[in-house]
A and B are shown apart, each in its own frame.
Chain A
Amino acid sequence: MLRLEKLVKTYKTGDQALKAVELEVPAGQVLALIGPSGAGKSTLIRCINQLVEPTSGKIYLGDLELTGLSSGNLRRERRRMGMIFQEYALIERLSVMENVLSGRLGYVGFWRSFLRRFPQSDVDEAFRLLDRVGLAHMADKRADELSGGQRQRVGICRALIQNPALLLVDEPTASLDPKTSRQIMRLICELCKERDLAAIINIHDVALAQMFVQRVIGLRLGAVEFDGPPEGLTPEVLTTIYGEEDWEATIETVNEDEIEEALK
């Protein structure tokens, strides 16, 4: 569904953020991208929807190659890739509803969006999504009145209302407390399953990644160091990705039910 071929990104400063990354993501697969700060995780997912322009290499979404598309075609393809951000990236002074509907901007014309007259089907879908994440009653609140966890739920709705085939998720839990982090991760994974969505999730928290995903990619200095199931993350592997540390405490063996118990 998504295929990266020899993806390279060199910044103007000369830093090589990505060194010929090869990656294939089948439809419906949720994978976690782990690695130390500066490993190129954020650059990688921003290259996929071209918020960062890759230096060379190819990106295939389905059969279509994304690099070098005209701006109109690129906008059409961006609709198929929903993005969820670290600091939520909601437009703070707009209402929850406007934020969710902004995910439809690729589908509606300027005047409709300017006058906030979105098609009824979009509004209905927005309410359904907000209800799914438990925020339907908050629709007319301003985004900056919400708590961190609530904001991230709105961010998830905004990405999903695009009706994407792929979710690009950049550190969704980095500014959330441990409990909310798990809830958000669970929500993202459940929604991916419900809608048969593929997702690439950048995440710092190795234990959290292991809990929820089917596949883990370890990135170090812009190159893939590990690609395998979460159980494959042994202390040796974590040392090659992050460097020397005592990893025993990080690797979680808890199962889902125990966590459920702990959260209640």
Chain B
Amino acid sequence: MSEVEALIGKPWHKPPFIKRPWLRWTFILGFIVYLIAAYITIDVNWYRVYEGLERGKKFVLAFTNPDFTTRSSDIYEGMVESIIMTIAASVVGIAISIPIALGAARNIAPLPVYLICRSVIAVSRALQEIIVAILLVAIFGFGPLAGFLTLSFATIGFLSKLLAEDIESMDKVQAEAIKASGAKWTQWINYGVQPQVMPRLIGLSIYRIDINFRESAILGLVGAGGIGATLNTAFDRYEYDTAAAILLIIIVIVMALEYLSGVIRARVQ
């Protein structure tokens, strides 16, 4: 009783995350000092910025007057190449990702398989798309084949990891019930696991198609084909109006994909 009375009438504060005050203040002051020091080291050539602003303004203004027609056949070819690259890479990447995801889920795969699949994922995720693309362009030469392989490879790391995590967090009892009926391993996956992760798989796949399309626009910059090559050429020629047209088309397609994925995900729940 007396203990409670001592507390009554006093304000209450959430206990601080770091208990020792001197340590807490060292971190806070250290962070502020770091921010100031980091700011001082930024070396900006303001004259260069002023010159660049002029070019930037031209580029922004080009959006008010995009030129779809002058290079229309180049844009068309690049866009078709990008779309084909995206679809092919997504299909192949997703098909390879599913077995790897099953192997990378600790609750269904034995340890050796798990370690192998996790290493495949780690390698795929560690290598950034551009780096893979540069390597593959060096091996297979310029063109969409290198882009297709790059995107397939990147899809594996992305989809397998996220799908494996969804499998790991599935409802264990539902899967247990299928096991208890005497089902084989394949039947167990088909009945006990697949229905639980299907909405996530579909959602991730559509999201990945979206990412692959955007990436395909970047990969052209290092010679891996697609609309990116056309865009790069337009910049090199200072044809900002054509570049603006290409960017607008990319934005429209990405937004359309975004809308589509929303519709599909709502339906598969």
Contact = CB atoms under 8 A, between A and B. Distances in A.
A133 B200 CA distance: 34
B196 interface: yes
B228 to A, nearest CB: 39
A130 B191 CA distance: 20
B187 A113 contact: yes
A102 B181 CA distance: 7
Given A87-B173, A90-B174, A93-B198, A81 B191 contact: no
Interface string B175-199: 0111111111011101110011011
A91 B187 contact: no
A144 B18 CA distance: 45
Contacts of B196: 91-93
> Which of B174, B188, B192 has the most A CB atoms < 10 Å from its CB?
B174
A162 interface: yes
Nearest to A110: B186
Interface string B148-186: 000000000000000000000000011011111111101
A251 B81 CA distance: 77
* Size category, B interface: 20 to 34
Contacts of A77: 182
Given A113-B190, A114-B190, A89 B183 contact: no
A106 B181 contact: yes
B182 A76 contact: yes
B185 to A, nearest CB: 9
A222 interface: no
A168 B179 CA distance: 14
Interface string A60-102: 0000000000000001111101110111011111100010001
Given A93-B195, A93-B198, A102-B191, A78 B182 contact: yes
Contacts of B183: 75, 102, 105-106, 113
Interface size class for chain A? 20 to 34
Contacts of A94: 191, 195
A93 B197 CA distance: 10
Contacts of A113: 183, 187, 190-191
B87 to A, nearest CB: 26
B182 A79 contact: yes
B182 A106 contact: yes
A181 B228 CA distance: 64
A91 B191 contact: yes
B35 to A, nearest CB: 46
Contacts of B186: 110, 114
A106 B180 CA distance: 9
Given A94-B195, A110-B186, A113-B191, A79 B181 contact: yes
Contact of B195 (A82, A83, A91, A103): A91
A51 B191 contact: no
Contact of B177 (A81, A90, A98, A104): A90
Contacts of B176: 51, 85, 89
A102 B182 CA distance: 10
Contacts of B178: 91, 102, 105
Contacts of A106: 181-183
A105 B195 contact: no
Nearest to B184: A110
Contacts of A83: 177, 180-181
Contact of B174 (A92, A104, A110): A92
Contacts of A105: 178, 181-184, 187-188, 191
Contacts of B188: 105
A76 to B, nearest CB: 7
Given A89-B174, A113-B187, A49 B180 contact: yes
Contacts of B182: 75-79, 105-107, 162
A9 interface: no
Contacts of B191: 91, 94, 98, 102, 105, 113
B187 A85 contact: no
A216 B180 CA distance: 24
24 contacts: A51-B179, A51-B180, A75-B182, A75-B184, A81-B180, A83-B181, A85-B173, A85-B176, A85-B177, A86-B173, A89-B173, A90-B174, A91-B192, A93-B196, A93-B199, A105-B178, A105-B181, A105-B184, A106-B181, A110-B187, A110-B190, A113-B183, A113-B187, A162-B182
List 10 tightest A-B contacts by C-beta distance, closest first: A106-B182, A105-B183, A78-B182, A89-B177, A79-B182, A93-B195, A83-B180, A89-B173, A75-B182, A105-B187
Interface of B: 173-174, 176-184, 186-188, 190-192, 195-196, 198-199
Given A81-B180, A82-B181, 14 more contacts: A78-B181, A79-B181, A85-B173, A85-B176, A86-B173, A91-B192, A93-B195, A94-B195, A102-B177, A105-B181, A105-B184, A105-B188, A105-B191, A162-B182
